């Protein structure tokens, strides 16, 4: 059954919120649904591109490996990969910040951080851990898209003007093109070559594919409100 645009926005909001949280916090406890194959077998999107297909397959392959371990060990393996790739100790092996990949110095709080900070502020996106986490963390960029998608859904449901709806669609298209999609391939490469069990490289590749899918979706949506 074809979904309405309101339902599509709800799906996007939930997807981006879930995936953003996966990159901001490690698996919290034993038996987390994200570590179970059944959860990923029911993923709500059909693979629309190679990145989505390969990323989802890699996650499923990892969950099959984790299922053979005691639950506490499985959780620990995912947590250790999260820490090793994104936190350290020392230099993270796959730093989850846009500035690291888009500035020659590969340092935090570069011009991409300032740019996304302005975009967030203009859109009214508040970060709970402000001043603790650079705004160009991929998890936060996905949370911003979740917020923007929710705002778009409310505009459509509330019969907002076509101009406002179109502007919100354009904001998301421009943001995806100018920010996460400019560096996620390099981010994925680091996670793929330096990860231990492949859970997070699969997740990042899946996110990459979803961003590509979403650009096409938003283009189709924009044509409906011109």
Give the orientation angle of helix 162-178 with respect to helix 138-157, to 10 degrees: 170
Residue spans per domain, the chain: 5-24+55-224
pLDDT for res 83: 95
Q: Please name the residue that has the structure tokens 């490690």.
A: 26
Alpha carbon distances (Å) from 12 to 20, 68, 103, 109, 217:
12, 32, 30, 28, 10
Burial (0-12, 13-18, 19+ Cβ within 10 Å), 226: exposed
Tokens read off for 154: 């409310």
Distance separating alpha carbons of residues 139 and 82, to the nearest angstrom: 13
Instruction: Tell me the pLDDT tens digit for each residue of 16-75.
Output: 999 999 999 987 666 688 899 999 999 999 999 999 999 999 999 999 999 999 989 999
- Residue 1, pLDDT > 60, answer no
5-24+55-224: which CATH topology? TorD-like (1.10.3480)
For 108-126, what is each residue's pLDDT tens digit? 999 999 999 999 999 989 8
Q: To the nearest whole percent, how much of the chain has pLDDT over 70?
A: 96
Q: Where are the alpha helices (DSSP H) in the chain?
A: 5-24, 37-41, 50-67, 71-86, 98-102, 111-123, 138-157, 162-178, 180-194, 199-224
- 62-88: per-residue pLDDT in tens? 999 999 999 899 999 999 999 999 998
CB distance 178 to 151 below 8 Å: no
CB 138 within 8 A of CB 113: no
pLDDT reported for residue 171:
96
User: Helix 180-194 crosses helix 199-224 at what angle (to 10 degrees)?
Assistant: 160
**Residue 209: pLDDT band by 50, 70, 90 thresholds?**
very high
Query: Contact 116/105 with Cβ under 8 angstroms?
Result: no
Residues 6 or more apart in contact with residue 197 via CB below 8 angstroms: 62, 65, 66, 77, 78, 81
What is the overall mean pLDDT for the chain? Answer: 92
Burial of 160 (0-12, 13-18, 19+ CB in 10 A): middle
């Amino acid at each position: 059954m074809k979904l309405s645009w309101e339902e599509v926005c709800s799906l996007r909001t939930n997807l981006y919120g879930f995936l953003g949280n996966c990159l901001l916090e490690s698996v919290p406890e034993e038996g987390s649904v994200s570590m179970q194959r059944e959860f990923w077998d029911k993923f709500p999107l059909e693979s629309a591109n190679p990145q989505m297909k390969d990323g989802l397959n890699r996650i499923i392959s990892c969950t099959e490996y984790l299922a053979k371990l005691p639950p506490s060990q499985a959780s620990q393996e995912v947590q250790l990969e999260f820490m090793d790739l994104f936190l350290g100790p020392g230099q993270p092996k796959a730093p989850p910040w846009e500035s690291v990949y888009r500035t020659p110095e590969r340092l935090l709080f570069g011009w991409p951080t300032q740019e996304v900070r302005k975009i967030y502020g203009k859109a009214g996106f508040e970060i709970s851990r402000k001043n603790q986490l650079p705004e160009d963390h991929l998890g936060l960029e996905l949370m911003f898209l979740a917020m923007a998608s929710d705002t778009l859904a409310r505009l459509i449901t509330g019969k907002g003007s076509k101009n406002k709806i179109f502007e919100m669609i354009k904001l998301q298209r421009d943001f995806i093109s100018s920010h996460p999609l400019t560096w996620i391939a390099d981010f994925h490469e680091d996670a793929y070559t330096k990860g231990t069990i492949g859970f997070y490289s699969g997740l990042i590749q899946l996110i990459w594919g979803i961003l590509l899918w979403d650009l096409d979706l938003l283009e189709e949506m924009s044509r409906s409100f011109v």
